[in-house]
Amino acid sequence: MTHGNTPAPPAAASLPARLDHLVINTHYDIDQAESLFRELGFIVTPRGYHTLGSVNHLVVLAGGYLELIGQPRNSDKVRQEILDSPVGIDGLVYAVEDVPACHDAWIAMGLDAQPVQHFSRPVEVAAKTVDATFSTVRLVPGQFAAGRVYACRHFTPELVWRPEWMAHPNGVRSIASMLVVDRDPAFAAASYARLGRWDQAFALEFAAAVDLPARFGELAAHAPQRDAFFAAMQLRGGDRPAIAARAEALGLPIRRDAGKLAVALPAFNTLLEFID
C-alpha cells in the first residue's frame, strides 16, 4: 500500500483469512516455468486456458496452491493486467465464500475494488472436458505496492484439488508462508492485517530489502529490485536433499541452512524455501 504521509491503518481485522493461492507471473515464458517446476519434482497440472485470455498451470497443495500464469504469444485476446504486472510472485489470493460480499467489505474499508469477475477454464477429467468455474474480486493495483491482491471463490473445487495432482515426487505438501518486502515492514504488516487474520496454516512475513541477505545470502540478488515486492514462498514437507540435487542439476542457485533449503529461480525473480 502506498504510504509516506498516509496515516497508519486501523488495527487488524477480526475476521479469519484463508489462502486460496499464490501467483507467479511468467509473462510469455510459461513453458519455461512449467518445465522448471516439473524438474524440481512437482506435479504440474495440464495447461489451462482462461476465458479471460490468460493461460496457467497449477501446483496443487493442501490448502492453497501455486499458480503459474502467463499470456500466450500471438493470441487475439490479451489479458493486459498480466503484462502490466512484473515477472515473479505477484499475486496473493484470499479464499472467500461470497465474492460480492468481499467486494463490498473492501469498499467499506476505503479500498478501491474492481467489479466482480466470473470466468472459467476447461479441465480434462476422466477423458471428459468440464469447466472449472470461479468468481474473483481484485483490488485496484497500487494499493498494496508489493503485488496484486484479490479474492476467489471456487464453484468446482473438485476440479482443482485432485489427489492425483497433489502427490508430488519431491514430497512438498503445502505453502507455509510468503515473504512481503517493503521499505516500512511494520506499516505493510498493519495494512495487510486489515484484510483478515491468518490461521496457523499460512502466514505473511514482512521484511525490508536490506534484511534479505541475512536470510538468503547471495540468493537475495535474485529477488526483485523494487521498494516493495513479494520475495519468497516457504513450502512444507519437501525432501530437501533430493530437491537440492534437482536444483543443482538445473543450474539453480541454492543455499542450505539448518532445517531449511533455499532455491532461487532467477528467470522469475523468485525465491523458494523448503522446510519440514
pLDDT of res. 36: 98
CATH code, residues 174-275: 3.10.180.10
pLDDT of res. 72: 87
> What architecture does CATH give domain 16-165?
Roll (3.10)
Q: What is the pLDDT of residues 123-146, one digit of tens each?
A: 888 788 899 999 999 999 989 999
**CA distances, 183 to each of 151, 187, 211, 226, 227 (Å):** 25, 9, 10, 9, 6
pLDDT of res. 7: 41
Q: What angle do CA 187, 96, 126 make, to 5 degrees?
A: 130
Indicate the average pLDDT of the chain.
92
- pLDDT beyond 50 at 223: yes
Instruction: Report, as an integer, the average pLDDT of 25-48.
Output: 96
16-165 against 174-275: fold identical: yes
DSSP 62: B
- pLDDT beyond 70 at 9: no
Q: What is the pLDDT of residues 225-254, one digit of tens each?
A: 999 999 999 999 999 999 999 999 999 999
- pLDDT beyond 80 at 5: no
Share of the chain above pLDDT 70, in %: 95
Q: Locate the domains of the chain by residue range.
A: 16-165, 174-275
pLDDT of res. 14: 54
Buried b (16+ CB within 10 A) or exposed e, 148-159: bbbbbbbeeeeb
| CA–CA gap between residue 153 and residue 95 (Å, rounded) | 6
Q: Spell out where the chain has E strands.
A: 16-17, 19-25, 48-49, 55-59, 65-70, 88-95, 117-125, 128-138, 148-154, 174-181, 197-198, 203-207, 229-236, 254-257, 260-265, 270-275
- pLDDT beyond 50 at 67: yes
Share of the chain above pLDDT 90, in %: 80
